[in-house]
Amino acid sequence: MSDNDYARVEAHDCPMSSCAVPAGSPCRTGKGKVALQYHTARFRLVPSLAKALNVSTPPVRKPGSVWVELPRPAAAGAEPSGHARIGYARASTVRQSLDTQLDSLKTAGVTRLFSEKISTRATSRPELERAVALARELRASGVAVTLVVHEHKRLGRGIELAALAEQLKAGDIGLEFLTGELQGTHDPSGIVFTVLAALSGMEREYIRDRTLEGHESARTRGKTIGGATVTDDAMLSMALHLREQGMSLRDIAARLVITKGKKKGQHPSPATVLRMLHEHDEHTATA
């Protein structure tokens, strides 16, 4: 059962006299709520679902909420009435700014904007899912819709990007990038888009492999990977003394002071203290 089954079901009026909802809306219960499942008589109008036991109403339809009639889908071949541009912006970490993306999207004339700070490796990106759900709703009502993004990397790379593009294509939703290698409006089924999306995924893997190779090469030469250390023997000695007194990592960190580097004069983090003590304990046990 695919994610788009509900759209196929809702392309038909519900034949149940107790429901009788028009095309474009979910089925309803006798108490005026959105039904948890579409009525059997309705989803069996879809050939691919004729033998299904049930078809669940998707979360986007808010099962259990008060039922309201939604706009009917556009008739086949009808010209779109209006054009909505939905913007999406994403940063990988909370410290990264979204200002550049948000400014470019507003300049591009988006009518609704979604943004979030979450890694592209996350299995679920709530705001992106909301943006796509809204795009499907608007398209079902007969409005032409384009998902606008500052750069393709904000959506993903390689397989991730191709998979999302297929979802948009299935919903007849346009895709536009304002900058980057894939700048412009794209047909997700086009060969050029497919090749460039694949190459962007290969680029990330290439960078990752080269980085790991560099780290391994540095280790074989005895070099330390990562930022400069902020701990020293004096700090370790004091931390061991405070631990013997039963103090917590947070309290120990608050008593210690970094004596060198860019963080000179600051307190180390509890995680740094934990790592320092753990390395000491491992070294002692080995000795």
Six token digits for residue 99: 């200002």
Residues 133 and 189 occupy one common structural domain: yes
Element (H, E) at 115: strand 112-117
* 17 is known as an active-site residue: no
What integer pLDDT is reported at residue 202 of this predicted model?
Answer: 45
Q: pLDDT tens for residues 175-232?
A: 898 988 778 876 655 544 555 555 554 445 444 555 655 656 666 666 655 445 678 8
Name the residue range of residue 16's domain: 1-72
Confirm whether 110 is domain-assigned.
Answer: yes
Q: Would you say residue 108 has pLDDT above 60?
A: yes
Q: Identify the H or E element spanning 86.
A: strand 83-91
One domain, residues 50 and 122: no
**Domains held by the chain: number:** 3
CB atoms under 10 Å from CB of 123, counted, come to 4
- Please compute the mean of the pLDDT values over residues 42-67 and round it to a whole number: 89
DSSP 142-192: T-EEEEEES-GGGT-SHHHHHHHHHHHHHTT-EEEESSSTT-EEE-TTSHH
Give the CATH number, domain containing residue 137. Answer: 3.40.50.1390
Alpha helices in the chain (DSSP H): 5-9, 40-43, 99-107, 126-140, 158-170, 191-220, 233-244, 249-255, 270-286
Classify residue 209: in a domain, yes or no.
no
pLDDT tier for residue 35 given thresholds of 50, 70 and 90: very high
137 and 67 Cβ atoms separated by less than 8 Å: no
- Looking at per-residue pLDDT, the higher value among 157 and 36 belongs to 36
Separation of alpha carbons 231 and 39, rounded Å? 66
What single-letter amino acid sits at 188?
A: P
Whether residues 99 and 178 share a domain: the answer is yes
**Per-residue pLDDT tens over the stretch 81-97:** 578 899 999 988 888 88
Contact yes or no for 239/273 (Cβ under 8 A): yes
User: Which residue, 279, 179, 180, 192, is CA-closest to 236?
Assistant: 279
Indicate whether 217 belongs to any domain: no
Q: Is residue 55 part of a domain?
A: yes
Q: Which long-range contacts (CB under 8 A, 24 or more apart) does 260-268 make?
A: 260/230, 260/232, 261/228, 261/230, 262/228, 263/230, 268/230, 268/231, 268/235
pLDDT tens digits for range 150-161: 988 888 766 667
Q: Is residue 221 part of a domain?
A: no
Which member of 56, 92, 115, 269 is catalytic? 92
Return d(Cα 254, Cα 156) in angstroms, integer.
Answer: 41
Put residue 34 in one of left, alpha, beta given phi > 0 → left and psi -120 to 50 → alpha.
beta
Check if the beta carbon of residue 86 is closer than 8 Å to that of residue 148. yes
Q: Across the chain, what does the average pLDDT equal?
A: 80
pLDDT at residue 227, rounded to an integer: 46
State the average pLDDT over residues 107-120.
Answer: 88
Asked whether residue 91 falls in the same domain as residue 194, the answer is yes
Residues 161 and 89 in one domain: yes
pLDDT for 128:
92
